[in-house]
Amino acid sequence: MEHLQNLIDGQLRDALSGRTLTTPEPATGLDYATLPDSDAEDVQLAVTAAQRAFPMWSAAPSEQRARCLRRLAELLERDLDVLAAAESRDSGKPLHVARTVDIPRARHNFAFFADAATQFASESHSVPGQLNYTLRQPLGPVACISPWNLPLYLLTWKIAPALAAGCTVVAKPSEVTPYTAWMLGKLAIEAGFPPGVLNIIHGGGEKAGAALVNHPGIKAVSFTGSTRVGAGIAASTAGTWKKLSLELGGKNATVVFADADLDVAVNEVVRAAFSNQGQICLCGSRILIQASVYDAFKARLVARTQALRVGDPNEATSDLGALVSQAHFQKVTACIERARAEGGQVLCGGTPVRVEGRCAAGWFLAPTLIDGLSATCATNQKEIFGPVATLLPFVDEDDAIAVANATPYGLAANVWTRDVSRAHRVAERLQAGIVWLNCWMVRDLRTPFGGVKASGVGREGGWEAMRFFTEAKSVTLVY
Ligand code: NAD
């Protein structure tokens, strides 16, 4: 059994209580590591270290901050294979996905914000006799809390801009997938971050996470996770005036118009639905298809989905690996049962997959397409966050917009059409923070990321991701 530790004040250490949690490998169901079951006392140590480091780090020349971030990016590149293997083992995702998506994007987060740190600027507006400028000052120690689905990628998407902006950080990765955050802690020491600048606390959300969010020394909370927990954080910090960035759940629409390049769309729509076992907040889990091509496109989607291979994450031929935990597997299978009870017709999948050999006890589920449900039923309203997508017909553009927007969420959407004017019209009218036209999950870090409605607030990108971690002060000089 491997033993993970917290990173506090530049040192790797156990929880003060000595208590641990265990984490299993989803593909085998076997426990393979223990992690600190941190509590308020560990959080106190970490916040104290972050407070101590803040004056030095916030005053450091931006080149120095950039050097540390760039060095960390280089170390992620150097350790790409070992990090990818760890991410795959920890989360159940295919190794090739961790190797081509999670770890390269985590590396890119540090590289991007290393550059951004040296380019960060603020506005100045001068009129005769008067100079007005905006000071953007780092907030202080901030909390970065992340979920299990893209463990290192989402954690670094928070840590990197916070550090670049001059804040010190106490990060809490998901207790479900702690391994690459533990590796990151060791790499941060190697990269030369001064003690206390980056602290990583492991443990459960209700104990370590809540203690961190509510610690008075924490000036901002950047949280990615469920809408339920995000709402709890917003409630518990109300009146403390902490800045909040909440990136929450989704129920994203894929919209396929009859005039789309259906050959391209069929592959990408399936990829959008089932990548990472459907456990990406951006997955298109409601597939809206124009009625005139509904039956033909449905048949192609089913055939393409049935061709996906569910298997050992270590095998290059596996398109889908295991779901992240037994509890999540049970939740997703219960959602499929609910869809059946609501009158849904399971077109393919819907059952566990038994993978022979070392993965015989893993949590594998066949990618599932469901037809025949209303847009308003629970299956089409609540986030499932697994390899389950529903099909819904629509008549025309207005109908497509109405169905796509008819959920409490508003994270992302992808739209397939050859009509450029239609693409722009639809993008404008969709209630979503991110819209992809004839593509899915293409990301430029300079654009805002995040959702509207119940999918979150504090959507930022590029510079703004750094600005979130600063306090803007307006200064006026009359001369
Ligand atoms: P979760 O909300 O259960 O947990 C997320 C993180 O919050 C974990 O680190 C957890 O330990 C911590 N946490 C739990 N309770 C807490 C509390 N009371 N106080 C402080 N921290 C607490 O989410 P999850 O199950 O890990 O992740 C899946 C969810 O994340 C899905 O809803 C998915 O849509 C969402 N998600 C959103 C985005 C986005 O960018 N919008 C990206 C990825 C995942």
Question: Is ligand 1 within 6 A of the CB of residue 38?
Answer: no
CB atoms within 10 A of CB 90: 27
What confidence tens digit (pLDDT) does each residue in 51-82 have?
999 999 999 999 999 999 999 999 999 999 99
Q: Residue 318 Cα, ligand 1 centroid: separation in angstroms?
A: 27
Q: Residue 345 Cα, ligand 1 centroid: separation in angstroms?
A: 31
Q: Which DSSP category does 395 fall into?
A: -
Q: Residue 200 Cα, ligand 1 centroid: separation in angstroms?
A: 16
Pocket mutation for ligand 1, best pick of 38, 149, 384, 460 (most atoms within 8 Å of C-beta): 149
Residue 23: predicted pLDDT? 97
R_g of the chain, CA atoms, integer Å: 23
Pocket mutation for ligand 1, best pick of 215, 224, 330, 460 (most atoms within 8 Å of C-beta): 224
437 three-state secondary structure: strand
Res. 27 pLDDT band, cuts 50 70 90 = very high
24 three-state secondary structure: strand
Output the pTM of the full model.
0.97
Catalytic residues: 247, 281
Judged against a pLDDT cut of 80, whether residue 460 lies above it is answered with no
Domain ranges of the chain: 2-248+455-478, 253-445
Q: Is the dihedral of CA 263, 268, 270, 271 positive or negative?
A: positive
What confidence tens digit (pLDDT) does each residue in 147-194 have?
999 999 999 999 999 999 999 999 999 999 999 999 999 999 999 999
Res. 461 pLDDT band, cuts 50 70 90 = confident
Query: What number is the average pLDDT over the span 1-9?
Result: 97
CATH number of 253-445: 3.40.309.10
Nearest to 135 by CA among 477, 471, 478, 406: 471
Residue 159: predicted pLDDT? 98
Question: Is ligand 1 within 6 A of the CB of residue 311?
Answer: no
Rounded distance, CA 396 to CA 412, Å?
20
CATH fold group of domain 2-248+455-478: Aldehyde Dehydrogenase; Chain A, domain 1 (3.40.605)
Rounded distance, CA 477 to CA 479, Å?
6
User: Which residues make Cβ contacts (< 8 Å) with residue 357, sequence separation at least 6?
Assistant: 312
Q: Please state, in angstroms and as integers, the Cα–Cα distance from residue 317 to each residue in 23, 94, 367, following that order.
A: 26, 9, 15
Q: Residue 229 Cα, ligand 1 centroid: separation in angstroms?
A: 7
Question: Is ligand 1 within 6 A of the CB of residue 201?
Answer: no
Q: Is the dihedral of CA 45, 48, 50, 52 positive or negative?
A: negative
Q: Residue 254 Cα, ligand 1 centroid: separation in angstroms?
A: 23
Q: Which residues pair with 11 in a beta bridge?
A: 8
Residue 459: predicted pLDDT? 74
Question: Is ligand 1 within 6 A of the CB of residue 148?
Answer: yes
Res. 462 pLDDT band, cuts 50 70 90 = confident
Question: Is ligand 1 within 6 A of the CB of residue 461?
Answer: no
User: Considering the chain, what is the average pLDDT of its residues?
Assistant: 97
Q: Please state, in angstroms and as integers, the Cα–Cα distance from residue 1 to each residue in 31, 139, 356, following that order.
A: 8, 39, 23
One-character DSSP codes across 207-233: IIIHHHHT-TT--EEEEES-HHHHHHH
Query: Percent of the chain having pLDDT more than 70?
Result: 100
Nearest to 32 by CA among 104, 89, 83, 99: 89
Strands 388-394 and 284-290: parallel
Residue 463: predicted pLDDT? 72
Helix (H) / strand (E) containing 341: helix 326-341
Q: Please say whether the beta carbons of 386 and 413 come within 8 A.
A: no
Least confident segment among 50-54, 133-137, 160-164, 448-452: 448-452
Query: What number is the average pLDDT over the span 24-32?
Result: 97
What confidence tens digit (pLDDT) does each residue in 196-255 have?
999 999 999 999 999 999 999 999 999 999 999 999 999 999 999 999 999 999 999 999
Give the residue whose CA is nearest to atom 16 of ligand 1: 205
